[in-house]
Structure formats: structure tokens, C-alpha cells
Amino acid sequence: MLDRYTRILVTGGAGFIGRHLVAALLELDKQVVVLDSRPTGLDQVLPGGTLVGADVRDAKKVVQAAEGAELIFHLAANANGTRSVLDPRFDFETNALGTFNVLEAARSAGVQRLVYVSSASVYGKPKGFPIDEEHPTRPFVPYGASKLSGELCCLAFFEAYGLPVVIARPFCVYGPGENPHTSLVEVSRYLRWHLNRRPIQVVGDLDRKTRDFVYVSDVVQALLLIADRAPAGEVFNVGSGQETSMRELIEIIEAVTGRRALIREIKGVTDDSYRLVADITHLRGLGYVPKVPLEEGVRRLAGELGEYPALPSGVTIFRKGQRAEEAV
């Protein structure tokens, strides 16, 4: 895997997915450079690597970090949809302008491959099921718009300059290492409330709201395959391909923990009560096979969190003045 590449830059390598990706690259004996604005503690898992504490919005620092890189994984981003609603300028500058900076640095460095980690949020409210890569893109929060802007920049650099970019669109990623203050994916949030004997706060409809939950190690597998095998200029959904309703997720949590859950339904906020599930046929063509079923992933995560983990503190906001969960 990745035999053609020795020196690899990972932007956002101190983040949730980034840390898992960096660990996998180190196991492959790669020379890893990490650029992250919040690199706290990463030096403990990056022996012999290079850590650049800088913001992706700093174009000069990005160029310096990319020098000598043969492959770039671009994960640095604001990944919180609520923050994008509350502070759209920060979101756009980080996700869109930050991606432009990485593309310019990649072009300057003459990299052989750039993998841009986008988001399923670019699709907006689904018009079909399951969602393939040809589905229309019409995001309804600034986060989705900024990630789509990054995609368009990637494709423009591919067409105009021949920069070998590939785009990955992860769906609902969960697993150990998520930040409870910013992550809004339901698996970790629901587990944290449940393990603390608190009511699980369900935004929207328990049955109509369905998601494609994908374990973080499967996402890392997908990113490595995309970097290694995907043709330049293409887009790939990254998910499990399995549909799970919020009710089914809670039932899995109950089965794993051996006790009934308390539930607080927030029925008045239904902006995201829709079916969001990936068609992963394109990714399977690269040899991708999801390995961690949801029940096993929940079991692993519950073991990692232990009793009384930190509670989620972020709230879901889709539009100005709207508020869903009760903040801790």
C-alpha cells in the first residue's frame, strides 16, 4: 500500500480522523509531516515524524509544510455544522480558503497525489436513495457549502494544472477519539448521554431520520485505497452502505450496554429528518470492504469511553435563532 510515496503531509493530523490516519501511515513506515493548528499531544504518537503547529489559513506555513511531500491528505477543516451557522466567515476561510492554500502548496511542491477529505454534507437534503456520487449537490448549511467550494477548487486545479487530486466524501464517522465538544455524529453523543444515565436527546424523527454510520478505521482504509488506487479527478463516497434509524441506533446501544435508554425526543427540529445513506459501489471498485458493523463499533466505543465519560456539550443549530439539544 502506497509504495510510490515516502514523504506524506497530513493536514489536520491532530484531529479525530487525522490521528487514526497518521497512526496507519506510521505503521506503513512513511515519513509523516502533520500540519495542525491544535497539535496538543500528537508528538506522543508521532515518533520521528515532523509536527508543524500552524493554521491551514496561513498560506506561507502550508507551503513550508508541503515542501518535499509526495502525497497530501487534506483533512484540516472546521467540521462542525453548528459553528458554520454561528460563524460562517471562520468556516469559509478554514474550509474553502484553507483548501485553496493547500492546493497552491501542492502545485508548488509538485506532489504526485492530493486526497481532499470533503463531506456528505455537500449533498444537502437527499433527492434519491441511496446517494451516489452523481447526486445533485445543494448544501443547506454553510459547512456543506464551504466543503463543496473546496471540492470545486480541487477539480479546477485538476483541469487547469493537472494536479492529481481525488475527493473523498465521508458520511457519519464515529469511533474513539471524537471531541465531545464539537462532534455532532449521533453514535458518540447518544452513548455519552446513555453511559452517564442521562436522556438521549434525539433531534428529529426517531424512525424517519436514518444515517450511514461508518467506523473510523474503515474510513482510514478507504482513504489509503483512494490514495493508492483511485484515478485522479474522481469523487468517492465513504460509508458503510448500511441504513440505520435513530431508533435502531438506540436499540443497539441498549443491547451493548444491557440496559434501557432514557429518550428525549426533540420533534420540533426536523431539518435533518431524512434518509442519508451512501452508495459505495464506486469505492468498492477499489477493493474497499467495510469491516466494522455498527454493533461491533458501538461495543468498541463503549469500552473506550468507560463509565461516565465527558458529556456532549455542542448543540445542533441549522439556522439563525434555532436551538435543538440542551447544552450541558
What per-residue string of b and e applies to 250-284 under the rule 16 or more CB within 10 Å gives b? bebbeebeeeebebeebeebebbbbbbbbbbebbe
At residue 161, the 3 state secondary structure works out as helix
User: One of 116, 143, 174, 288 is an active-site residue; which one?
Assistant: 143
Residue type, 207: D
6: its cell numbers: 515516502
Cis before 139? omega within 30: no
141: region left, alpha or beta (phi > 0 left; psi from -120 to 50 alpha) = beta
Q: Known catalytic residue: 143? A: yes
Query: What are the residue ranges of helices labelled H in the chain?
Result: 16-27, 59-66, 81-86, 88-92, 98-109, 142-161, 186-195, 216-229, 246-257, 281-284, 294-305
Which amino acids are annotated catalytic?
143
